[in-house]
A and B are shown apart, each in its own frame.
Chain A
């Protein structure tokens, strides 16, 4: 017997869930600048490496972050789990 549970497109999440808002003690440790070995801030990640919004998301402790409405198609060319991150990441970098 085959059983499938297919969500309607109206059930697509409108917000990402950020576990940084709910981490148990201790909180996530800061990352460090590879050259200075000092705690990293958003400026250390700034373009030309990462897009600004991705930096904001990287350090955010908001529990839910709105998923931007995308105008491009989101069908998977690769057939794996990567489109949920490559599409918004690529869109933010465009």
Chain B
């Protein structure tokens, strides 16, 4: 809108996918991967002058994001560091994590950083890597998008409305999923209150208001650093501060008001959603 574009909130009444979602649940809070992607793909497919651009998940998006890790490797050299011991990023669709991690993974696979550990952090309310299934699934709720092999909570997954920490997609980038499945990328989940507490501590220490998504990485970094303090082992920890929180002040307000309950997505709901996976043989 600031740049002159139109912006439509999803689910909307402007597409078949949006109308179907609203017909099922008029009060739905929507979902990025499920509903918004379905509506955007439908809009692109039905207008000759429209293409579709996805902000995460896909291989080419991970490719574009690799500038993050490539530049970070150069920054490490400036800091006099030859290697990183731990690389941490938050993971929703996986692209910002991939952007930082993949150039470092290149170094690990080539034997130049053989002991580098990679940690993808996600919300306990949206536990794609920690509790999802490595399976073939649609990228969106309506089944318009390609079926990809990835960690998934089921394409019908809708994050709880009380979750304010972002990273809400039901799936995970196939490339990140493969590396996690092969044991090269670890994953941890965090509750939103400890995430926001980490964000506040970071702000008071560094003077930066981070996005709630990025705060997941900060929480994990703090945990790794605390473990180093306990053991006396020195480690070089790299993380991606992927975004500011200037547009998330209402979430910070809710945190300070004690209005953000911690929520762990129930196993039975995950199991129910995974029943609708497409059959790929």
**A residues within 8 Å of B by Cβ?**
3, 5, 7, 11-13, 16-20, 22-24, 26, 28-29, 31-34, 37, 40, 44-45, 47-51, 54, 57-59, 65, 67, 77-82, 84-86, 88-90, 93
Contact = CB atoms under 8 A, between A and B. Distances in A.
Contact of B244 (A67, A80, A84, A93): A80
Interface string B1-27: 011000000000000000000000000
Given A58-B60, A86-B55, A89-B53, A80 B68 contact: no
A11 B74 CA distance: 8
B65 interface: yes
Contacts of A65: 63
A7 B146 contact: no
Interface in B26-77: 41, 44-45, 47-48, 50-56, 58-71, 74-75
Interface residues of B, number: 65
A23 B240 CA distance: 22
A19 B244 contact: no
22 contacts: A5-B78, A22-B110, A23-B175, A23-B178, A28-B178, A32-B136, A32-B278, A33-B147, A34-B144, A34-B147, A44-B146, A45-B146, A48-B45, A48-B51, A50-B51, A58-B58, A77-B3, A78-B243, A81-B95, A81-B99, A85-B65, A89-B54
Given A28-B175, A80-B244, A84-B99, A89 B64 contact: yes
B244 A90 contact: no
Given A23-B178, A49-B45, A77-B3, A32 B147 contact: yes
Contact of A57 (B45, B60, B71, B103): B60
Given A77-B3, A79-B246, A29 B53 contact: no
A24 B182 CA distance: 8
Nearest to B79: A5
A33 B280 CA distance: 10
Given A40-B146, A48-B51, A85-B64, 18 more contacts: A5-B78, A13-B71, A16-B64, A17-B66, A18-B66, A19-B66, A19-B106, A23-B178, A24-B182, A28-B175, A31-B147, A31-B149, A37-B278, A37-B280, A80-B242, A81-B240, A85-B65, A85-B95
B157 interface: no
Contacts, number: 153
Interface of B: 2-3, 41, 44-45, 47-48, 50-56, 58-71, 74-75, 78-79, 95-96, 98-99, 102-103, 105-106, 109-110, 136, 138, 143-149, 174-175, 178, 182, 184, 211, 240, 242-244, 246, 278-280
B182 A5 contact: no
A87 to B, nearest CB: 8
A29 B244 CA distance: 35
Contacts of B60: 54, 57-58, 89
